[in-house]
C-alpha cells in the first residue's frame, strides 16, 4: 500500500519491465546531471531558506497561510484501517505471498497471469472493495483540508477508494493506480459499474461480460498498463500552482509517482509524514535532482516528521487549531475519536494477520487452478 506501498505501486507508463527500467534510469540520469555542477560546489543552500526551521510546528504555521495544498498519499494512510500494505518487509502482502508457489508475488497484478487465472486477484478485490473498510483519521484530515478550502488535489497510490468513502470530492482525487468504481470487459471494453462487479465477486465468482462473455476487470492499473490520463493531465497543471506539499505514508520508491515531489516550484515547502525516512539522499549528485533535503545543510524547505500517518495528522491538526473541527467531522461519521486512538496500538498485528490470511487464500486459488490444468 509500502510505506508502505500500494499493490500497484510499480505501475508506470512503459509497456514492459525493460522499458520501465530504461525510462527510470534515463530519468535518474537526467535528474542527477541537471544539478550536478551546482551540487558539487557546496551543500549550503544557494538561496535563503523558505522555512525558518524544519519542524512540524513551522510547517503548520506556513501551511496555515496556503490555499493550494497537494497531498501525495501512499498505502500507509490505510494500514490503520486494517488494509494490508504490499511491500513492507515481513508483513506486507508480497512478503506473505513469497512463501507460496506463485510465479512471483506480484503475479496477481500481471495481465498474462490474470487472464489465465483471475481468481487470486478477485479474492484480493473482494478483500479491498470500497465500503468494506472505514476511512482513517488521515483520510478525514484530507477531507478537512478540502472543507477548509486548502486542498488543491490528493494524488493517491491507493486502490481502496477510501478517499471517496471519506467524502473527499471526486474532482479533488487523482487515483494514480486506478479505481474499483468502474470496470470494463478485457475483450470488448464494455463498461460496468461498482455494483455489477461487487455482486458477483462477493459470491466468489468471476465477473464476465454480458455481451461477449469476456472477463470484466476493475479499472485497476496492472503492470504494463498505462496510468490514467487524468494522472498526467493534472500533474501538468496542479504542481505549478501548489504552495504546500504533504507527502504521507509512501516509500517514494516507484516511478512515476515518486517523481511528483520534484514538480513543485523550488520555494514550495514539502512535508513528509512517514514511519521511515524516504526520498532523501546523502549523495552530492542528488542535491540538484529534487530529492528531499531534510537533514542536509542544503535544505531550504523540507520537513520530515517521523510518526504514523494518523499520529502525524493529529498533531498537525492541533498545530493548525483544527482539532475540534476534525473531532466533529469524525463524530458526524459515527467514528469515536477515543476508539480510534485505542485501536492504533493493535493495528500492526491485525494488519499482518490480514495479509497472511489473504496471501494464503490467493495462493490457494492459484494452486487450485494449476491442479485443474494438470
- Please give the positions annotated as active site: 177
Q: What are phi and psi of 325, to 5 degrees?
A: -65, -40
C-alpha cell at 143: 477531507
C-alpha cell at 234: 493534472
72 within 8 A of 261, measured Cβ to Cβ: yes
309 within 8 A of 62, measured Cβ to Cβ: no
Question: 356 vs 32, 96, 102, 192, CA distance in Å?
Answer: 39, 6, 15, 31
Residue with cell 496471501: 359
| Alpha carbon distance 59, 52 (integer Å) | 9
| Alpha carbon distance 76, 91 (integer Å) | 13
| Alpha carbon distance 79, 98 (integer Å) | 20
| Alpha carbon distance 227, 177 (integer Å) | 6
Bridge partner residues of 70 (DSSP): 153, 245
163 within 8 A of 74, measured Cβ to Cβ: no
Element (H, E) at 37: helix 36-41
Q: Kindly report each contact of residues 329-332 with a partner whose C-beta sits within 8 Å and lies 24 or more positions away, as own/partner.
A: 329/140, 329/143, 329/144, 329/147, 330/137, 330/140
Bridge partner residues of 69 (DSSP): 151, 244
Residue 133 CB partners (closer than 8 Å, separation 6+):
78, 81, 82, 83, 160, 162, 165
Closest CA to 241 of 263, 272, 271, 273: 263
The answer to whether the peptide bond before residue 337 is cis (omega within 30 degrees of 0) is no
Amino acid at each position: 500500500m509500502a510505506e508502505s506501498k500500494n499493490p500497484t505501486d510499480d505501475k508506470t507508463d512503459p509497456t514492459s519491465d525493460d522499458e520501465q527500467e530504461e525510462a527510470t534510469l534515463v530519468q535518474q540520469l537526467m535528474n542527477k546531471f541537471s544539478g550536478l555542477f551546482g551540487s558539487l560546489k557546496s551543500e549550503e543552500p544557494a538561496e535563503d531558506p523558505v522555512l525558518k526551521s524544519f519542524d512540524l510546528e513551522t510547517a503548520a504555521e506556513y501551511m496555515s497561510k496556503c490555499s493550494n495544498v497537494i497531498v501525495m498519499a501512499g498505502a500507509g494512510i490505510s494500514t490503520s484501517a486494517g488494509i494490508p500494505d504490499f511491500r513492507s518487509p515481513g508483513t506486507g502482502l508480497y512478503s506473505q505471498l513469497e512463501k507460496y508457489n506463485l510465479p512471483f508475488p506480484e503475479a496477481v497484478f500481471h495481465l498474462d497471469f490474470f487472464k489465465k487465472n483471475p481468481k487470486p486477484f478477485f479474492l484480493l478485490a473482494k478483500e479491498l472493495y470500497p465500503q468494506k473498510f472505514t476511512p482513517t483519521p488521515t483520510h478525514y484530515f484530507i477531507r478537512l483540508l478540502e472543507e477548509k478550502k486548502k486542498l488543491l488535489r490528493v494524488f493517491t497510490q491507493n486502490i481502496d477508494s477510501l478517499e471517496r468513502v471519506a467524502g473527499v470530492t471526486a474532482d479533488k482525487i487523482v487515483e494514480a493506480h486506478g479505481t474499483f468504481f468502474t470496470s470494463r470487459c478485457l475483450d470488448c471494453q464494455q463498461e460496468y459499474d461498482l455494483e455489477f462487479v461487487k455482486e458477483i465477486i462477493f459470491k466468489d465468482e468471476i465477473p464476465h461480460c454480458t455481451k461477449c462473455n469476456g472477463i470484466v476487470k476493475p479499472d485497476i492499473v496492472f503492470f504494463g498498463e498505462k496510468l490514467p490520463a487524468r494522472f498526467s493531465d493534472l500533474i501538468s497543471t496542479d504542481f505549478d500552482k501548489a504552495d504546500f506539499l504533504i507527502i504521507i505514508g509512501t516509500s517514494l520508491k516507484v516511478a512515476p509517482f515518486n517523481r511528483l515531489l520534484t514538480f513543485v516550484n523550488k520555494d514550495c515547502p514539502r512535508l513528509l509524514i512517514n514511519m521511515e525516512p524516504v526520498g532523501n539522499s546523502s549523495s552530492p549528485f542528488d542535491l540538484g535532482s529534487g530529492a528531499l533535503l531534510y537533514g542536509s545543510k542544503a535544505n531550504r524547505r523540507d520537513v520530515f516528521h517521523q510518526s504514523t500517518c494518523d499520529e502525524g495528522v493529529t498533531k498537525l491538526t492541533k498545530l493548525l487549531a483544527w482539532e475540534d473541527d476534525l473531532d466533529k467531522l469524525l463524530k458526524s461519521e459515527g467514528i469515536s475519536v477515543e476508539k480510534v486512538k485505542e485501536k492504533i496500538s493493535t493495528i500492526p498485528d491485525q494488519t499482518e494477520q490480514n495479509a497472511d490470511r489473504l496471501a494464503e487464500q490467493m495462493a490457494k486459488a492459484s494452486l487450485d487452478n494449476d491442479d485443474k490444468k494438470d
